Amino acid sequence: MVEACEQIGIRFSINHQKRANNYNSYVKQLLPVVAFLIHAYDKRGRTAGNVMMEMGTHLFDWVGCFAGDVNWASAHLNTGMDKAVVENITYNQEISTQDRDAGLVVGGRELCSFGFINGLHADCHFRAQLQANDKAYRLELICTQGRILLCRSVATVIVIHRGEFMTSIESYQWDMFSFQKKIESLGSTYQLKSPKSRIINSLLAPEDPDLLPISSRWDGRRIFGDDPRGLGITLARSTRTIPVER
């Protein structure tokens, strides 16, 4: 899609709204403290296989906002308490009739690990709780000088711990960050526009027409062989199948 839109001159964005979230932008200003580890948690009351075909990409992309390009990836999938095997592959609507038709899936719980080119490590947890909980949807950035929690999908909350190490009895050291209290000192760059409006503005009314739109996914295209640094992965694009189909 990115390539086709580029060829005919259409500006293009994917609806990964975290890339336009004011709170994420603010946290990036705090990261001279350097994050070296990220824990990411899904919110869904759904099995991991189904989530991978829907909202799982949003959690991965949220991690990517802070971590950059992936160097390696690994995942562990369970069905029940057992390791997922070929016989567990099934159509997603057989697992949940309420989900959209997404084809073949596998996995009840999934733990994913990523190593990034910049040395950062991330773990993403898809725990398949029975009920969804938006408050549990979060990133935890472990930094050289404290920790930063980003919680919830749209109505993001930031909690900051400024100590190098924290135990359960030191929870009082967490500080809740409020954008309303900081907005005047942050200036016009951090006007509280919704993520969706920021993405649309970057498409239709960019400040500089030469700038890529927010969430243009050019960085994703780099991974598949288009990276000018020669770090991309060359794939046979004529055969687009997924492992569970093979």
Indicate whether 121 pLDDT > 90: yes
Residue 125 counted as domain residue:
yes
Compute the Cα dihedral for 39, 45, 49, 51 and give only its sign: negative
Does a structural domain hold residue 217? no
Number of domains in the chain: 1
The verdict on residue 112 lying in a domain is yes
Give the C-alpha distances (Å, rounded to integers) separating 51 from 111, 112, 189, 193, 242: 13, 13, 34, 28, 15
Closest Cα partner for 244 from 87, 76, 56, 75? Answer: 87
What is the per-residue pLDDT across 209-228, written as a single tens digit (0 to 9) for each?
888 888 886 665 555 455 54
Report the CATH number at residue 182.
3.30.360.10
- pLDDT exceeds cutoff 70 at 237: no
Whether residue 21 is contained in a domain is answered as: yes
Is residue 9 in a domain?
no
Per-range mean pLDDT, top range of 20-29, 133-142, 178-187: 133-142
Domain span holding position 105: 17-195
Assigned domain for 70 exists: yes
Q: How far is CA 153 from CA 51, 110, 157, in A?
A: 15, 20, 9
Q: Give a yes or no: residue 124 inside a domain.
A: yes
Average pLDDT over residues 88-94: 89
Q: Indicate the pTM of the whole model.
A: 0.80
Do the domain assignments include residue 210? no
